[in-house]
Structure 1
Amino acid sequence: MPLPRLQSLLPFLRWLPACNKRSLGIDLLVGLNGAILALPQSIAYALIAGLPPQYGLYAAIVPVLIACLWGSSSYLICGPTAAMSIVLLSSVSPMATPGSDDFIALILLLTLLVGVCQWLLGLLRFGALVNFVSHSVVLGFTLGAALVIGIGQLPNLLGLPATSQATGLMNLLSLGEHLAESDWRTLAVALFTLAISLLSKRLSPRVPALLIGIVAASLLVMAWPEQLGAIALVSRFEGSLPPFALLEFNLSDILQLLPAAVACGLLGLVTSLSIARALADKSQQPFDANQEVRAQGLSNIIGPWFNGSLSAGSFTRSALNQQAGACSPMAGVFAALLVALFALHGSRLFAYVPIPAMAASILLICWGLFDTRAIKTLQRVNRSEFLVMLLTVLATLVLELQSAIYAGVLASLVVYLKRTSQPRVRQWQDGEQEWLCIEGSIFFGACHYLQQRLQRSGAPWVMIDARHINFIDYAGIAMLHQEARRLHSQQRHLVLHHARSQVIDEIRKLEGPEHCPVQFTT
């Protein structure tokens, strides 16, 4: 089989031969950081989805391996996420009791259906979806998601009961009601973790600062059990490797789950592609959206056969991957393998990790997502795009996270349509000729604006410099015909100068070349 064909089937062959001992060593350390972060997160997300805790670990092993090896991004790490866990629970809970065998079977079936939908979209090259997510939306979504994740960690930081409201703003308001109940000892451990991590990073940017901070906090809690013994620790869990499971196929269940599968599939893709694109822009690395779509689908097709629930891109784990200096997707592969190893032998070790130390580490990751330079540049260069970014940030706080992406995309499209509905028109007088140079397309959205500009002209010859008009639709053609006939009734003329051949052909199609009221010159 030719090498290009083999690489298209096995994309990891493009970058795996370039890995060396040094890069693999760095990726191993990065993967260790990612595994430590993934363990408590995965367990928490499984409980949010109504699944037993071990299913969170399963979702952080096989699907992550598949997505890293077949994906395009060097930094994107997939697995269970808060948003997808909430969507899973709301989609399947009307059909079965959360935590029951039937519920688990339906979750796995839904995951498979999502994977099939995503994989088919990848075959249809639906990765172009990411082109409709503007840079301002990606920046706003990144900042907003960092705020939402940070707000979600504040209860663990302050020793308060975890909140489970639908939006970040509601979580923040709920937190304010219990702020007086904060435990200063929990906050002290979190601040200690932050201080050690920041100091380690300052002394040596290459060291796993988050890991050092977590280990230091664990030792601190162990050293002073009298003062810090009441601080919450990571829950003990019985670990095992993901077991192979036969899925149950029932036509009525498939039909009932299909609408949710399409919605979850689109949500997972938009989220994952937004994260991958943001990381690619920040690192200046190439990114193949269609390959990433296929990889996401493949991970959710194979994952449920090993008890892995729905997987999507994770902001915190992907950001950690980039900030820690991952050299290749092997960092994600190592993270998945280490999660599997820890699932077997590390439950006792992780039972000593304080929850506030984990929360402090996540806050540091969120802080790394704030690209202040990009925000200032966007504000200086394009105010409308800056407003779109702010709207996206606001949407992530007041809406559910998945809805915020759609709101940002919609706002970006509105700004684009507003801009294209008023194309730039340069106007000047030359004797009896009044010239209008139109720089943009003549389509239905711009017709009213351009018609008003034409009607303001009182010259005998209305000349349109059409060299910059690349596209004209039926509404634009009809408008030009109408204005040409109006001018003709007044013994005046409408002339298009230097129009492209395809534009001329489209205008003449309406009534035929011999009856076209619009004149053309070169």
Structure 2
Amino acid sequence: MAFPSRHSLFPFLTWLPRQTRASVGRDLLVGLSGAILALPQSIAYALIAGLPPEYGLYAAIIPVLIACLWGSSWHLICGPTAAISIVLYASVSPLAVPASEDYVTLILLLTLLAGVFQWLLGLLRFGALVNFVSHSVVLGFTLGAAVVIAIGQLPNLLGLDVPNQATALDSLLMVFKHLGEVDKPSLALGLATVVVGVILKLLLRRWPTLLITLILSGLLVWLWPAMFGHVKLVSAFVGRLPPFSPLPLDLDLILRLLPSAVAVGMLGLVTSLSIARSLSARSQQLLDANQEVRAQGLSNMVGAFFSGSLSAGSFTRSGLSYEAGACSPLAGVFSALWVALFAIFGANLIAHIPIPAMAGSILLIAWGLVDHRGIRALWRVSRAEFLVMALTCIATLLLELQTAIYAGVLASLFFYLKRTSQPRVQHWRDGDEDILRVGGSIFFGASHYLQVRLQRMHGVRVVIEAQQINFIDYSGVEMLHQEARRLLQQNRSLTLRGARPPVVEELRKLEGAEKCPIRFED
């Protein structure tokens, strides 16, 4: 009986002993930069998810530590993200009041279920399953999520106190109904945050501009109480490490949350692996997708018991890790430790952040989510894929977000099957021979199309040039046997020329090599 090696159980042992004083020092500084970037983002994402602000910091500690130590990417940094946060909010807000104790418990239970799903996918080596969520679906979902996030922040930006709505459209209509109640100082503060944030981003690309804008807005409110004294601030919390959170394993709750857990778990994996693959290609690193999937699942499973909501790969923090020259995953570990220090000693500072300024910052985050270049490229390359993206985006605005993901996947599969159900077929006549060159697999979706083409042939000898046929399933085998028998009854024949050995083997299995009605030529 073979036992797993300690490197498979503890993959960080493959790279940790090779670190030097210089590399550790470098990763320590990169981790500090990542933590400075993560602090305002994590708080913003917690508010998007309907959680108290401290839970954003908790999600950037334990889950990040585990994902970095057990993952395979050198530069992937995880944590709460905008898209994940909006799905969590959409999934759980109908079941409990946001920010309440019951709501937090449901979020953490959903995180645990998603983590178990991810971990099982990695354990069964189904990492490639995330490829079924196409890039066009991710683009459309991200675009729709950005719009949903922006609409959801309008009440905070305008200083309105309105109830939460089920869909983005309902939320927008509710805001229009209360436009007469807009608080002008709150709106001015929020818009100023957006403008200053854009200017700083253009002038100081490598600086933590989000953190700077929030500090400036907090100072403005503190220095000008006559104008902004009534503006709502982020709720204060007690500084501490992530507390242990026992979770209720109630079967009814689990079954109710399971569809959302699968959807958000897949979304998290797609996001994380997309970032990891992109950075590994640039850093010439070999990536183990199944190990990465297991690490994501383990980080969410353990993180849920330590008050960490669902985490996934972060575009901005991972990009910063690569651009700043991180030497190993220790950069992510140090980032989590820096955030933990802030959670203990800097909690009181968060209570000075104005809610309208945070809303303005979240609007900038939502704008940054939109991949404008990818959308334009998709329009130029494939109108069908662009339609999938558009349908997914519309679904995120009209349906529950997890349902929108499923709708996008189904649309992608529909167009894929539609495309592959009509393989490329070239036809020419050579004397009494009809010759067809088939480019593509012969499977259940393509069998009927090819059968119709074969039945239109009138030559005494029908030849299929099969060099480009990589795969044939039972439906394809049965169809070719049926056509071969039909041609034999008419004193004609069906011949496969240049077929690959696996295809020939499958065709001969049905009735045995001796009775196979199909002829084969090299």
Tell me which interval the TM-score lies in, with the shorter structure as reference length: 0.7 to 0.9
Q: Which residue of 2 aligns with 1:311?
A: 310
Give the equivalent residue in structure 1 for 2:229. Answer: 229
- Check the 8 A contact 2:304/2:310 in 1, yes or no: no
Shift of 1:261: 6.6
Is the CA contact (8 Å cut-off) linking 1:437 and 1:464 kept in structure 2?
Answer: yes
Aligned partners of 1:347, 1:354: CA distance in 2, in Å? Answer: 15
Q: Which amino acid aligns with 1:17?
A: Q
Contact 1:111 1:261 in 2 (8 A): no
Instruction: Give the 3 Å change call, closer, same or farther, for CA 319–349 of structure 1 in structure 2.
Output: same
Q: Distance in 1 between matches of 2:291 and 2:148?
A: 29
The 2-side partners of 1:106 and 1:405 are apart by: 21
Q: Partners in 2 of 1:402 and 1:330 — Cα distance?
A: 33
Q: Which amino acid aligns with 1:62?
A: I
Are the aligned partners of 2:444 and 2:475 in contact in 1 as well (CA < 8 Å)? yes
| Distance in 2 (alpha carbons) for counterparts of 1:357 and 1:324 | 24
Find the counterpart in structure 2 of residue 158 from structure 1. Answer: 158
Change (3 A) 1:490 1:248: closer
Structure 1 window deviating more from structure 2 (107-116 vs 336-345): it is 107-116
Q: Are 2:93 and 1:99 aligned?
A: no
Report the CA distance between 1:498 and its aligned residue.
1.3
Specify the alignment match of 2:510 in structure 1.
510
What letter matches 2:317 in structure 1? N
Of stretches 274-283 and 470-479 in structure 1, the one that deviates more from structure 2 is: 274-283
Map Cα deviations across residues 252-275 of structure 1 (whole Å, 9 max, x no partner).
Answer: x45445535754542342121122
Residue 271 of structure 1 corresponds to: 267
| Shift in Å, 1:513 | 2.6
Cα-Cα RMSD: 3.2
Unaligned runs of 5+ in 1: none
1:465–1:497 contact (8 Å) kept in structure 2: yes
Q: Tell me, yes or no, if the aligned pair for 1:268 and 1:312 is still in contact at 8 Å.
A: no
**2:11 partner amino acid:** L
Deviations 1:224-267 (Å, cap 9, x if unpaired)?
2111222221112223223446x478xxx454455357545423
> What does the per-residue CA deviation read over 1:279-331, in whole Å, with 9 as the maximum and x for residues that have no partner?
3465545654322322233223333443x2542327xxx24424656645556
Conserved in 1, the CA contact under 8 Å of 2:44 and 2:53?
Answer: no
The 2-side partners of 1:183 and 1:104 are apart by 30
Q: Which amino acid aligns with 1:184?
A: K
Which aligned pairs between 1:197-236 and structure 2 lie closer than 5 A?
197-236=197-236
The residue type equivalent to 1:84 in the other structure is: L
Structure 2 distance, partners of 1:234, 1:106, is 22
Deviates more, 1:388-397 or 1:103-112: 103-112
How far is 1:332 from its partner? Answer: 4.7
Aligned counterpart for 2:255 among listed residues 259, 263, 269: 259
CA distance in 1, matches of 2:108, 2:502: 52
> Is 2:144 aligned against 1:144?
yes
Residues of 1 paired with 2:509 and 2:174: CA distance? 63
Shift in alpha-carbon separation, 1:355–1:331, aligned structure 2, 3 A: farther
Aligned to 1:498: 498
2:502 alignment partner, SS class: helix
Separation in structure 2 between the aligned mates of residue 443 and residue 123 of structure 1, nearest angstrom: 29
Q: How does 1:352-371 map to 2 (within 5 A)?
A: 352-371=352-371
Q: Which residue of 1 aligns with 2:12?
A: 11
TM-score (norm 1): 0.85
What residue identity is the alignment partner of 1:266?
V
Q: Count matched residues.
A: 502
SS state of the match for residue 471, structure 1? coil
Runs of 5+ in structure 2 lacking a partner? none
User: Aligned in 2, Cα 1:44/1:125: closer, same or farther, shift over 3 Å?
Assistant: same
Aligned residue for 1:84? 88
CA–CA distance in structure 2, aligned partners of residues 278 and 176 of structure 1: 38
Residue in 2 that maps onto 1:520: 520
User: CA offsets per residue over residues 422-481 of structure 1, 9 Å max, x none?
Assistant: 000011111111111010111111111111111111222211111111111222122112
AA aligned to 2:151 is: I
Q: Is the 8 A contact 1:137 1:408 kept in 2?
A: yes
Residue 415 of structure 1, CA deviation: 0.9
Q: Is this contact kept in 2: 1:117–1:262, CA < 8 A?
A: no
SS in 1 for 2:19: helix
Give the TM-score normalised by structure 2: 0.85
- Identity, % of aligned pairs? 51
Partner of 1:345: 345
Deviation of 1:512 after TM superposition, in Å, equals 2.5
Mark the CA change 1:480 to 1:404 in structure 2 (over 3 Å): closer, same or farther: same
Deviates more, 1:424-433 or 1:117-126: 117-126
SS in 2 for 1:515: coil
